[in-house]
Amino acid sequence: MSASYQAVGWNKQKKKYDWIIFSFCVVYLIVFIGVTAYVNPDYTFETVLVRSTSTLALLLLHVILSIGPLARINKKFLPLLYNRRHLGVTMFTVALVHASFGIFQFHALGNVNPLVSLFMSNTNYGSLADFPFQALGFFALIIFFLMAITSHDFWLHNLGPKVWKTLHMMVYPAYFLIIMHVMLGVIQYETNPVFVLILGVGSSTLIVLHLIAGTREVKKDNEEFGLKQDGFVMVCGVNDIEDNRAKMFCIDKERIAVFKFERKLFAVNNVCKHQNGPLGEGKIVDGCLTCPWHGYQYLPQNGQSPPPFKEKVSTYDVKVQGQNVWVNPKPYPEGTERKGANF
C-alpha cells in the first residue's frame, strides 16, 4: 500500500525467508546432482543441469501452490504466505535455467531459429501420445515470467487488483501445462513408476488442500441468518467478537468483516484491496484494521487506508440490540464514514 515506490526494504523476516529458500534449493541441487553422479558415472553436466533445475522448479511450484490453502486452513502458515512472491520469482528463475539449457541443447545450432524449431520440429499437435510437450513448458514459462515481473506492488497498483489477481491466478493453468509437459515428455521415457507416483502424490496433495480450504470457505459463505429486521440481519452476540478482532459474515453474497474497537463495532467489506485477503481474520493494530495476509491497513470508521495511502473498502451499518449484533448488508460507497455501534 505504497503511495510511491522505493527499493523494497528487506526486513529481518524477508532476509530469513530468502536464506531459507536459497538453502533449501542448494540442498536439493547438491543431493540430486550428487546422487545422479554417484549412480550414473556416465552422466553429462548438461543433462544433470536440465533435470536438476526442472525437478527443483516443479517441487517449488508445489510448495508455492500449497501455501495458499494451508494458510486458509491454519493461520500459523501465514509467515510462508507473506513473502510467497519470493518463492515464485525463485521458481521462475530456476525454470528459466532449465528452459534456456533445454532450448539450447535441443534446438540451437540447427538449420532454423531455436524458437521456430521448438514449435516446428515435432508437429504432432493432433496426437496426445506424440504431442510436442516442450511447447507446453514454453507457454507455462511465459505465464511464470509475467507473474514474476509483475510481482512487485507497483504492478498491483498500476494494473489494478482485479487484473493483477486474474493474471496471478494463471498459475493454475500454468501448473496444468507443466503437469502435461512432464507427463507427455520425460514420463514417456523413464520406466520407473516412482516418477509418476511422486507427481501423483504432489498433485493429489494440492487438490485435497484446495478442496479442504474451499469447502470451509463455502460453508462459511452459506451460513444462514434467521433473524432479519428493517434490512438488518442478526449475525452474532456482542461477546462472540474479541476486542480488537473481527469476524467475517457472508450475507446476501456480501462478505462483511465486523470488528470491535474501543467499545464500538464497525463493519467493512471483508476483501482487502491488495490481494483479496480476508480482513475478517485481521486485527486492529495501531488503530487500523490490519489484513492478515500482507498487513494492509484500513481505518475502522471509514474503511480508508490512513493517509497518504489511498486504498478504500465499502462500509456498512451496524447496530447492537441487547447483546446481539445486527448488520445491514447494503454497502456504502468505498471510504464512506460510519459511526459504528456502541455497546
Q: How many Cβ atoms are within 10 Å of 280's Cβ, its own excluded?
A: 26
What cell does 315 get?
462500509
3-class secondary structure, 73? helix
Q: For residue 224, which phi and psi values (nearest 5 degrees)? A: -90, 140
**110 contacts other proteins (rule: CB under 8 A):** yes
From CA 342, how far away is CA 334, in angstroms rounded?
22
Cis amide prior to 308 (ω within 30 degrees): yes
Q: Could you tell me the smallest distance in angstroms from the CB atom of residue 337 to other proteins?
A: 26
Give the C-alpha distances (Å, rounded to integers) separating 318 from 35, 115, 247, 325.
63, 60, 13, 7
Q: Which of residues 198-257 bind other proteins (CB under 8 A)?
A: 198, 242
Q: Which of residues 145-204 bind other proteins (CB under 8 A)?
A: 184-186, 188-192, 194-195, 198
Among 118, 156, 241, 288, binds other proteins (CB under 8 A): 118
Q: For residue 290, which phi and psi values (nearest 5 degrees)? A: -110, 125
Q: Could you tell me the smallest distance in angstroms from the CB atom of residue 36 to other proteins?
A: 4
**47 contacts other proteins (rule: CB under 8 A):** yes
Length of the chain: 343
Q: Could you tell me the smallest distance in angstroms from the CB atom of residue 109 to other proteins?
A: 3
**100 contacts other proteins (rule: CB under 8 A):** no
**107 contacts other proteins (rule: CB under 8 A):** yes
What cell does 184 get?
507427455
Q: Which of residues 285-304 bind other proteins (CB under 8 A)?
A: 285, 290, 292, 294-295
Give the C-alpha distances (Å, rounded to integers) separating 274 from 57, 156, 240, 309.
27, 8, 27, 12
Q: Could you tell me the smallest distance in angstroms from the CB atom of residue 319 to other proteins?
A: 26
Residues that bind other proteins in the complex, under the rule CB under 8 A:
11-13, 20, 24, 27-28, 31-36, 39-40, 42-44, 47, 51, 55, 59, 63, 75-80, 82-83, 105-112, 117-118, 121-122, 124, 129-130, 132-134, 184-186, 188-192, 194-195, 198, 242, 282-283, 285, 290, 292, 294-295
